[in-house]
Amino acid sequence: MPTVILLDVSLSMTQPVSSTDGGSSNSSSSSEPITRRQLAEAGLNTLLDFIAANNKLEFTTLVIFSSLWEIVVPFTRDYNELKKAVHTIEIFDKTCLETVLEGVKNVVIEEWGASTLCQVILVTDGSPGVGPGSLKHAIQILSNPKADDSTFPVPFEFPNSFHTVLISSQLELQQWGSLSMYQKLLDANQHKGHIHTIEGAVTVKSAQVMFTKMAEELYSAFHAKLSCGNLSSEVQVFPPPQPVNMARDFEMVAQRLSTELSICGFIDCADASSPPVISRHLVLPLPVKDKNSSGSGEGAEGGDKTEEKETVPSSTEMGSNPSFCVLLHGSLKVENLVALVNVGENWYGLLHSCADSKKKSNLMMSLFEPGDHAIPWVGKFHLLGPCTAFANNPYGEDNNKSPFPVRLQEKRSYSQNPVVWIKPINLQADIQKILRYARKLPEKTLVFYKELNRLRRAALSFDMTELLQGMSMMLERECTILPWTAHPDAALQLTHAGKMLTSAMDKGYDYSITPLSTNFASDS
């Protein structure tokens, strides 16, 4: 999941911190006081080092803000570039929180869409600020039900986890009342996130401890054991799977991914195509740690001592070591199969090869909803078995069809090509397609009526009856501007289609406009 780091670069970040509730703090090795900016740099370096060591595939961006906001480093996996940018940023004027939250919402939706889970980490001194755009002003908007808070960026429109890091002493936060204000902001975000504060004296070490705890909570790698019979491999699942909490008719389902991933069997890709899944994760093999007994020395009494050393193989050694994960990936890719894997109690997923380019592919795991009937046309997973387990082939000896005869006859909604009119250009393109076919009548009669009925059904679904009236007028206009060399059937079909668009509005969604039967030959 991508991460957005929001770093406060207002003037208040240059103020020295208070290590105790009573006075200012001086560094043990220097007489100069420690500023909040220096603590933020040290903490962010610790956070970025942790992510680089545990979640190298994490995309992270650095955004600075004061009265304005700026993307210093776009989404990247180069953590050295992020650390360098944290060290070289400048200080600007006052804090304006509302502006940067609005900017973050736009950046994430533009880059990742509105369905990708994103971590938002706000690093600030906790000062509530004054004036429009400050934290106080934001709380007033959220607390006043009569205020026009429809444009306020919180709650975010994308799945998120909003974490606020306050670099100040507990006494300062109590004096400002910042904790209660940020808690209200977190409540407005539907309690998705957490507030992190420094415990004890405000020092570089305590700030690093706070960032380390947050990093362990958010970015700890998920390791599991993938096994199939006697073969097994230690793997990392990225991004770490989130707990699933679902409300069903008569029960609440709460599931966590198990650390034991067991392959139950293999299915042909054609039999499990386009299944409904809730999340997708990369499955990466982990380097094997070898415990070798080496080294002996003489003790005080002349005895021998044996030391156990854990050695992690280098990248070249890893490429020469056998790995079940690599074997599985290559087998699934060559044989065009998917592996059904049990990931928890009554919870399943699919392991399959996924190519992100023509030359590179990865082993991916797609998780279903909890239950053993996630693919309707396959049936219940615990009832599946090989045909060799039966005395006679239950599907017939000469049956070359799919071994799952319960496949749904109708097309699934998520496998069709729906009409999408989110932007005006999409609607314009559909209308222009119909007009292009209209100018090629009667050769394109069947395609013309197919696209016309497609537009009609979409307009009725969206209750856009004015669109049908406008389309009827456009067809009548096309009829009047036909060249003298046009086929006579073209004018008749256009007139017929234009009238039927308006007269057949009450005939329902399933009704289709059919071509007008004429005595003209298309090749005359």
Question: What is the Cα 486 distance to its own chain's centre?
Answer: 53
Q: What is the mean pLDDT of residues 135-147?
A: 74
- The percent of residues in the chain predicted with pLDDT above 70, rounded, is 82
> Quick check: 389 pLDDT over 90?
no
- The percent of residues in the chain predicted with pLDDT above 90, rounded, is 36
Categorize the per-residue pLDDT at 289 as very low, low, confident or very high, splitting at 50, 70 and 90. Answer: low
> CA 334 to CA 341: how far, in whole Å?
19
Q: Which two tokens stand for residue 421?
A: 């009119």
> CA 297 to CA 305: how far, in whole Å?
6
Return the CATH number of the domain spanning residue range 223-292+307-391. 2.40.290
Q: Which has the higher per-residue pLDDT, 45 or 413?
A: 45
Superfamily of domain 3-20+32-219: von Willebrand factor, type A domain (3.40.50.410)
Q: Determine the pLDDT at residue 153.
A: 82
491-514, pLDDT tens digit by residue? Answer: 999 999 999 998 888 888 888 999
406-422, pLDDT tens digit by residue? Answer: 444 555 555 557 788 88
Of 87-101, 106-120, 130-144, 406-420, least confident by mean pLDDT is 406-420
Please state at what angle helix 36-54 crosses helix 79-88, rounded to 10 degrees: 180
> CA 338 to CA 263: how far, in whole Å?
10
Q: Is 174 helix (H, G, I), strand (E, B) or coil?
A: helix
Partnered with residue 266 across adjacent β-strands are 339
Categorize the per-residue pLDDT at 145 as very low, low, confident or very high, splitting at 50, 70 and 90. Answer: low
> Quick check: 32 pLDDT over 80?
no
**Contact status, residue 169 vs residue 21, Cβ threshold 8 Å:** yes
Q: What is the mean pLDDT of residues 334-348?
A: 92
294-323, pLDDT tens digit by residue? Answer: 444 444 444 444 444 444 555 555 556 788
Range with top average pLDDT, 26-30, 189-193, 382-386, 477-481: 477-481
Q: What is the dihedral of CA 386, 389, 390, 396, to 10 degrees?
A: 30
Question: What is the Cα 145 distance to its own chain's centre?
Answer: 32
Q: Which has the higher per-residue pLDDT, 249 or 521?
A: 249
Q: Determine the pLDDT at residue 213.
A: 94
Categorize the per-residue pLDDT at 396 as very low, low, confident or very high, splitting at 50, 70 and 90. Answer: low
Give the residue extent of every domain in the chain. Answer: 3-20+32-219, 223-292+307-391, 424-507
Which amino acid appears at position 347 of this protein? W
Q: What is the mean pLDDT of residues 188-215?
A: 90
Q: Determine the pLDDT at residue 462.
A: 87
Sheet of 69-76, strand order: 69-76, 60-65, 3-8, 118-124, 160-166, 193-197
**Contact status, residue 124 vs residue 164, Cβ threshold 8 Å:** yes
**Contact status, residue 446 vs residue 516, Cβ threshold 8 Å:** no
**Tokens 């004890």 map to which residue?**
200
**Contact status, residue 119 vs residue 1, Cβ threshold 8 Å:** yes
